[in-house]
Structure formats: structure tokens, C-alpha cells
Chain A
Amino acid sequence: MSHVGSPRPGVIGAGTGLPPATGLAPATPPRAEPGPFRAFWNRLTARRSAIVGLVIVVALILMAVFADWIAPYDPIATDWGAIRSSPDWAHPFGTDEVGHDVLSRIVFGARASLGAGLTSVALAVALGLPFGLIAGYAGGILDMLIMRLTDALLAIPFLILAIALAAFLGPSLTNAMVAIGLSATSTFVRLTRAQVQAVAAEEFIEAARAVGNPPWRIALRHILPNIVPAILVQATLTIAAAIIAEASLSFLGLGQQPPEPSWGSMLNVAKNFLEQAPWMAIWPGASIFLAVLAFNLLGDGLRDALDPRQRT
């Protein structure tokens, strides 16, 4: 897709790391460069939207971890005296069709959403990275086999594949995570392979090979660290997609099973009571939206901070 990201006017040649060709030595000694992590942090926090994303992500993670202390009620306790009661002081987000407190289910639902987002992407990276490394570095018949398999997986749209996998594995949150992780793997194989091929063409890799490093050492010590930024950016953006996918599967009834709370399954129930209890539909959807937005903002910010070549 590089042909759409053509250089902007005025920045052609920028970012090559070359000093301006004035031919003059700087009059004052340059200030000490910040360390690589510090520099990355400064670039990341220079964008307000990235900070917003980071703050929301951290807040949601804290909410998921400390759900037991934050939620006012037990999320699966039914209260037959308060069925579909509209929001009030006792239940700020109202209650659902069996008297669950919606606020408490939102708080606990963060566990399913974030857990599924993080776990499935971890699975996708754990599978995609080694295969991408092998395909990109070893080349030849292995590369061809891996890439044909990846192409075939990419030919089945992400959610359709996840639904089919979840259907055959059986509906549960764990199976939904596996299904989403497997469906997202091909993206990481492709990305890793492309990155490896780009890095492997650099001179320092040739130098490492010339001094007699074995291939596995070159792949792990010299290539891998250079492709981590791109993987990290893609992983963050894929978490956003995975959260939507988990919510989608749960919405269809193929993810988290009731009465355990998940934002997607809450919406599944809510759509049957739109006229009587619209609040049941508002909050779970808003939570999904917020979580996905936060990871998208953070991912865009990370891309700008880590990989200046891909800046939009």
C-alpha cells in the first residue's frame, strides 16, 4: 500500500538522519541526546490523542483488574425486585431483564473484552512472529509454503473465519479468543516477513553475516530487535479489532456465555428490550466504543512515535 503514502510536499528526504548540508560545523556543541526510551516517550506524549488513548487504556485495565472493588454489586446476582428498572441512585446504569446491575456488569465486562483483546493478539503474535521470521529470513520453499497458507487464511474475511472457528470449536469465551487469535495470525506473518526482508537487506546484517554469525543468531539478535516497533504498532491496532471481534462473537452468542458478563452479550440481550429498557443497550456499546477508540488512538500514536516512515 506504499503507493498511497507518497511523500508529502516539503518533507522529501526528511527523516534520513542526514544533517543539513551547510558544510559548517555547529557553533555550539549539541545538547545531550535523550536516551532511546526517553525520546520515544517524548514523541508519544507530544500527541494529545495518544495521551488520551493511553489514559483510557490504563483506566480500563485498572477497572478490569480491580473489578471486585469497583463494582457496586455482584455482576451475576439477580434481583427479582428490580427488573429493568431505569437508572437511579441505587443502579446508576439501571438493571437488566433479570435484575442484574448494569454498571457492575460493565465493570466486570472489561475483563472479557480486554482479556480477549490481549490474549488473542498475544496468540496471534506468538504464532505469526516465528513463521514470519522463518518465511522472511529462510526464503525458498518454506517461504512459499507459509505464504500460500497465509494468503489462503486472508482470503476468508476475519470475522467470518472467527465465526466458523467458534462454531466448530463450540461457543465459549476461551474458544472465541482462540478463534480471533488464529484469524489474526496471518496479518502478523505477513508483516513480520515484510519487515524481515527489509531489515535483512541492510548493510549491518551483511556485516554480521560476514563475521560468521550463524543464521539463527542473526535472525534473533540482529533482525528481531529491529522489527519489534512495527509489530508493537500492529499489535495495538489489532487489539482494537480483537475487542470488536470478541464483542461481535459474544453479540452473536458465540463468545462469553450468560450469565457471565461481556459487553457484546449484554447488547445481544438488550436488543430485545429496546422499547422498554434502552439503557441496557447504551452503556455496553459505549464501553466497546471507548475501548476500541482508546486502542486505535494509542496505536496511531505509537506508529508516529516508533515508525516515522509510516506517519500519516
Chain B
Amino acid sequence: MLRFLVQRLALAVPTLVIASMIIFTLQQLLPGDTATALSGEERDPEVIAFIRQKYHLDQPLPVRYALWAGGVLRGDLGESIRLQKPVLDLVVEKLPVTLELACLAMLVALVIGVPMGILSAVKRGTAADTLANGIALWGLSVPNFWLGILMILLFSVHLGWLPASGYVSPFESLSENLRSMAMPAFVLGNAIAAVMMRHTRAAMLGVLGSDYVRTARAKGVSPLRLVLRHALPNAAIPIITLGALEFGQLLSGAVLTEQVFSVPGFGKLMVDAVFNRDYATVQGVVICTATTYVLLNLAADLLAAFVNPKLRRA
């Protein structure tokens, strides 16, 4: 297990280093003088001079990267030109909101996707299976920002049940917080639910066809017990690991969902930064996202290896 852990870590580190190089190099895409472009709309000569010095823009690219990466490792993600705050502070401030949204969305996805996948595998080829597959296809094809708009139309404009926007911290009022997060979480979870349904269906079909399930059935185990006690635990392994991989999708989707419902999270921070030409913040958000994603993949791999010893030899 320790060797496996070391191997996986040895793969994750270069991935992150190269990803950081790509993210750093994005700056080079800016048209014209980098310092002028980074200074944003104001073009204040003082700011430009500060940036030139802060990012060592008179140095060659590899030196600049090394200086920047050294800063990132020490937790210095740069300075938000617009908000006059360290990017790390902004990230730390916004991350919990997005994490809450992501966790609620994952909950929605699991609660809808897994039972639907089990049902469609057990009732394979029936109308229930067709219906579940149809719902999954809908979930995969509907753009989540449009689904958000439709839900606002129905539940906020028409029925007046839920707030269309505005975020309430759970420390202020948990019930208001959940009311404001209900629609965003559903919208974000919808697409993942479809993916989870497909994974669950495929995994369950594989397990249901295996010999030990047939033996259990022959011994007269009740159908419900057969599915829940005999088949599901084995089918759960791929569902867990593939579910963890969907987290990247969740972070992408959060950008749009937060925009539709004006949730002040990570995604909104990034989009606002894009429009304010606050490039340090954009880079900071992207590097935090990539790090989170790589660590989650690592955790998923380790979890899978923990549950299934055969994988440890890979």
C-alpha cells in the first residue's frame, strides 16, 4: 500500500508542476505589453511599474516562472489588482460557498442517480429502464444554465416559492441558506445524476451477471436483499471512484450555476475576475481548481485501492 501511495504521488507531482507551467504561460497570450495588460482598465503608470517589479517582467520567462512558482508554494498567489487583496484571501473566502454547493449537488446526484441506475439495471429492458435512460439523456443534454433559468421562471417568478438569487450564509440562518441553495444544487447535481445513473447501471449489470449473484439467487435470497446486500457493495467501488472523477465537472458547472443564481462562490470570483481583467485572480482560481482536482483523483485512486486490493499491484 505504501509503495502504491508513493507511486501515485510521484505521478501527481509532475502533473501539477506542468499544469502550473501551462497556467503561468497563459499570461503570454495577452496582447501587447504584459504589464500594461495586467494592470487592467486604469493603466495607472504606478500600478504598471508595481506589476513589472512584482512579476519580474524584465526577467526571462523561466526565471519568472520559478519566482512565481516559489511564491505559489509559499501561498502567495499574487495580488488582485481590482480588489487590492491577496488572491489567496479571496480564494479562502469564496471556496467554502462553492464547496457547500458542490457537496449539496453531489448529494442530489447520488440520491437521484444511484437508485435510478439500480432500478434500470434490475429492470433491464423494461419501460422503467427506457424511462431512466431517457431521463439520463435529458440530464446530459440540458445546459445547466438554461435549466437554472427555467427553474427561476417556475419557482421564483411564477410560484414565488424560492428566491431567484442571493446567498445567505449557513451561520446566519441554516434554513434560509438551504432555501437559497436548493435550486443551484439541483441544477448542478442534475447532470452528475445522469452520469451516476449510467455508471451505476453499468456496474450493477456487471455484478448481477456474475456467478456469486446467481448462486445467491438459486439459494432463494429475496430479490431486494440480493440487490442491496449482495450486488450493491461490489458495484459501489466503481461508482465511488468514478463519482470522485466527476468533481471536475462539478467545478466547471459551478461557474455557470453561480452566475445564474448570483451565488458568491469560486466560479463567480473567476468570472468577475475575467471581466475585471484581474488576471492574477484568474490564475489563482485555476491553479487552486487544478490542485483540488488532482488531489481528489489521488484520493479516489487510494480509496479504490483500499477497497479492492487487486488494484494495488497496478
Q: Which residues of A contact B (CB under 8 A)?
A: 1, 3-10, 148-149, 151-153, 155-161, 163-170, 240, 244, 247-248, 251-254, 267, 270-271, 274-275, 278, 281-282, 284-285, 288-289, 292-293, 296-297, 312
Contacts and interface: CB of A to CB of B under 8 A. Distances in A.
A288 B31 CA distance: 32
A170 B157 CA distance: 35
A253 B256 CA distance: 12
Contacts of B297: 155
B202 A5 contact: yes
B122 interface: no
A159 B252 contact: yes
A158 B250 CA distance: 11
A4 B137 contact: no
Given A4-B238, A240-B141, A274-B157, A164 B14 contact: no
Nearest to A170: B31
A9 B252 contact: no
A271 B279 CA distance: 27
A88 B23 CA distance: 50
Given A4-B199, A252-B259, A252-B271, A160 B286 contact: yes
Given A3-B238, A168-B26, A252-B271, A148 B15 contact: yes
B260 A156 contact: no
Contacts of A254: 274
Interface stretch (B50-58, B103-111, B142-150, B170-178): B142-150
Contacts of A1: 238, 242
B289 A160 contact: yes
A167 B146 contact: no
Interface residues of B, number: 64
Interface stretch (B61-69, B203-211, B222-230): B203-211
Q: Which of A163, A253, A267 has the most CB of B within 10 A?
A: A163
B163 to A, nearest CB: 13
Interface string B228-265: 00000000001000100000110111011001100000
Contact of A296 (B17, B140, B150): B140
Given A165-B29, A296-B140, A274 B149 contact: yes
A271 B71 CA distance: 40
B26 A288 contact: no
Contacts of B256: 159, 248, 251-252
A253 B242 contact: no
A169 B272 CA distance: 16
A240 B146 CA distance: 16
B22 A153 contact: yes
Contacts of A159: 252-253, 255-256
A86 B210 CA distance: 58
Contacts of B26: 164-165, 168
B290 interface: yes
A169 B18 CA distance: 20
Contacts of A153: 19, 22
A273 to B, nearest CB: 11
A268 to B, nearest CB: 9
B186 interface: no
9 contacts: A8-B209, A152-B14, A152-B15, A155-B294, A157-B293, A251-B256, A252-B256, A288-B146, A289-B146
Interface of B: 11, 14-19, 21-23, 26-27, 29-31, 137-138, 140-143, 145-146, 149-150, 152-153, 157, 164, 198-199, 202-203, 205-210, 238, 242, 248-249, 251-253, 255-256, 259-260, 270-271, 274-275, 279, 282-283, 285-286, 289-290, 293-294, 297
Nearest to A161: B286
Nearest to A152: B18
A1 B202 CA distance: 11
Contacts of B203: 4
Contacts of A282: 150
Q: Which of B141, B153, B208, B238 has the most CB of A within 10 A?
A: B141
Given A6-B205, A275-B157, A285-B150, 5 more contacts: A6-B209, A158-B248, A168-B29, A251-B259, A252-B255
Q: Which of B202, B242, B260 has the most CB of A within 10 A?
A: B202
Contacts of A252: 255-256, 259, 271, 274
A242 to B, nearest CB: 12
Q: Which of B29, B164, B210 has the most CB of A within 10 A?
A: B29
B22 A267 contact: no
For the complex of A and B, list the 4 residue pairs with the smallest distance between their C-beta atoms, beginning with the closest. Answer: A285-B146, A6-B206, A152-B18, A159-B252
A163 B271 contact: yes
Given A275-B157, A296-B140, A163 B274 contact: yes
Contacts of B285: 160
Given A152-B15, A157-B249, A252-B256, A278 B157 contact: yes
Contacts of A247: 143, 145
Given A160-B286, A164-B282, A267-B146, A274 B152 contact: yes
A216 B253 CA distance: 41
A168 B283 CA distance: 10
Given A170-B31, A252-B256, A164 B199 contact: no
A152 B150 contact: no
B12 to A, nearest CB: 9
Contacts of A163: 255, 270-271, 274
A160 B248 CA distance: 9
B125 to A, nearest CB: 11
